Amino acid sequence: MSASRDLKAQHIEEIKGWIKNCNSMVVVSYQGISVAEDTQLRAKFRAANVQYKVLKNRLVQRALTELGIEGFDNHLEGSSAFAFANGDALAAAKIVVEEGKTIKALQAKCGLMDGAYIDEKVVAKLASIPSKDVLLAQLLGMLQSPISGFARAIQQIAEKQA
């Protein structure tokens, strides 16, 4: 093999590692984004433990094919960047959708969740899901509601009888 082929094969293996180790991935169209906007976006990704990489579409497509993941063929065209969420699985989608509201050139093309292709509509829906802490607080509130209502009813009965 030539040195160029070896380098590409090595890069494909690296991309496969990122895909295997991430909780989710969002493919981002970034054509027309300014340097200042890109710097701001990268800072938000870093703070959320998301790796943001500009990679060659062809190499990512080869890595996905080797991993047996399909559905990305029509979306890996033009300028593409890839956001790999390593902590919170929804972090990449939330940042892309939220920043896409102010940075018009930024938009989600598609993504990967649990090893399966998801389209841009699903990415937007995932971005609208509240954070884990908010969901836990809502669950706790729902669990406490019947108990606290019962406790108030018992207290009122006790006050009437006293």
> Is 57 within 8 Å of 12 (Cβ atoms)?
no
Please state, in angstroms and rounded to a whole number, the distance separating the CA atoms of residues 134 and 143: 14
Could you tell me the end-to-end alpha-carbon distance of the chain, in angstroms, rounded to an integer? 91
Say if residues 8 and 59 touch (Cβ distance below 8 Å). yes
- Output the pLDDT for position 157: 84
pTM above 0.85, yes or no: no
Q: Judge whether 76 and 61 are in contact, CB under 8 Å.
A: yes
Instruction: Note down pLDDT in tens along the chain; length 162 residues.
Output: 577 888 888 888 998 888 888 888 999 988 888 898 889 889 998 998 888 988 888 988 989 888 888 888 787 888 888 999 888 888 888 888 888 888 888 888 888 888 888 888 888 888 877 777 777 887 887 777 777 777 787 888 888 887
Residue 22: closest CA among 77, 80, 69: 69
* pLDDT in the model for residue 77: 83
Q: Do 61 and 158 touch, CB atoms closer than 8 A?
A: no
According to the model, what pLDDT value does residue 1 have?
Answer: 54
- Position 108 scores a pLDDT of 87
